[in-house]
């Protein structure tokens, strides 16, 4: 440092809450948060998810209440997951495109009740609906059949669009899924329905609690179609492929352990980039807070800020409605 320059004292800009607020480089806004919601077929009351304290599988009645709570909090949208009855699961995931299947029923309710206030989004995958728990249909040898799965995705996309979904979250990680679904939607005249590509979705240990949340029957793993956690460049390549196929939004999932990938994608993507703070991330925060090891609210805010700081334009998080409330109260 040159001797003739005045001393640099960055602490000047940290001296008071007003200063810190004025010079903050990253902020949270309710509209940048998306709330994932689970709706269980046949439930008469909300059912707690043991691995995710505070999160439930909703009945249709409690689902309606959750929708209005989210809308009043000002969050950007809701991502809907259906949890079908066990007897409704089969090898093809037939309940996924059944108009009377739980996800499509819930989507119609959401579109009618809060469709003007929230972006109603639906998970387009098969794992919740299949008796084997994989994200696609299986070939005779037990492997996931990519192209046969794409045909199922086409049909599910049309069912979800018909039910009123504004954005389809393609989470199955099949090659060519964005192009297949875009083609099906456009051919059916559903040109205004957007596609969220779960582009960089890793085969992560952090999905464990989610499998309880959706009643997954998975045996084995999904390493042949979800990405290897060791690979960074591959995440950007997958996002580029989805962009070339017509994705309106691209996603990195999970969030916190993949902030490098998120930053890579955000640096080059011409469309919005989202990230999913997944069930395991939520469960870890809740467990540590319950044991008194961390300040829960500060840790939640810090993790969400880190995801936004890395480049996410919006974050799917189970804390969405709660944090939106904090923001509206001036706590963040």
Q: Which amino acids are annotated catalytic?
A: 201, 253
Instruction: Tell me how many degrees the CA angle 208-211-216 measures, rounded to the nearest 5.
Output: 145
Assess contact for 149 and 132: CB atoms under 8 A.
Answer: no
For residue 58, list its beta bridge partners. 39
Assess contact for 297 and 223: CB atoms under 8 A.
Answer: no
Beta strands in the chain (DSSP E): 33-40, 47-48, 56-58, 77-83, 119-124, 167-170, 194-201, 249-253, 273-276, 314-316
- Phi, psi (rounded to 5 degrees) for 249: -145, 145
Residues 6+ apart with CB under 8 A from 190: 157, 158, 161
Q: Residue 258 corresponds to which tokens in the numbers above?
A: 């993949």
CA distance 216 to 3: 65
For residue 274, list its beta bridge partners. 251, 314
DSSP type of residue 59: P
């Amino acid at each position: 440092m040159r001797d003739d320059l005045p001393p640099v004292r960055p602490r000047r800009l940290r001296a008071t809450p007003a200063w810190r607020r004025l010079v903050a480089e990253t902020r949270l806004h309710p509209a940048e948060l998306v709330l994932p919601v689970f709706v269980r077929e046949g439930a008469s009351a909300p059912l707690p998810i043991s691995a995710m304290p505070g999160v439930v599988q909703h009945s249709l009645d409690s689902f309606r209440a959750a929708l209005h709570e989210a809308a009043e909090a000002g969050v950007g949208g809701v991502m809907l997951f259906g949890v079908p009855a066990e007897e409704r699961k089969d090898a093809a995931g037939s309940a996924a495109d059944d108009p009377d299947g739980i996800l499509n029923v819930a989507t119609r309710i959401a579109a009618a009740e809060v469709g003007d206030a929230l972006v109603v989004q639906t998970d387009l995958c098969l794992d919740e609906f299949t008796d084997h728990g994989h994200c696609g249909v299986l070939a005779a040898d037990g492997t996931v059949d990519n192209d046969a799965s794409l045909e199922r995705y086409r049909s599910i996309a049309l069912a979800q669009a018909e039910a009123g979904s504004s954005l389809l979250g393609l989470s199955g990680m099949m090659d060519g899924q964005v192009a297949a679904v875009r083609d099906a939607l456009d051919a059916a005249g559903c040109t205004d329905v957007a596609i969220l590509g779960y582009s960089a979705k890793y085969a992560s240990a952090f999905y464990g609690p989610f499998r309880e949340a959706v009643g997954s029957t998975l045996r084995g793993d999904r390493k042949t179609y979800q990405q290897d956690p060791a690979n960074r460049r591959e995440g950007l390549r997958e996002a580029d492929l989805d962009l070339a196929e017509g994705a309106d939004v691209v996603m990195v999932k999970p969030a916190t352990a993949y902030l490098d990938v998120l930053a890579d994608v955000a640096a080059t993507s011409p469309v919005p980039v989202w990230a999913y703070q997944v069930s395991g991330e939520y469960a870890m925060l809740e467990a540590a807070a319950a044991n008194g090891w961390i300040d829960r609210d500060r840790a939640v805010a810090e993790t969400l800020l880190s995801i936004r700081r890395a480049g996410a334009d919006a974050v799917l998080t189970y804390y969405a409605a709660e944090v939106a409330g904090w923001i509206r109260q001036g706590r963040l």
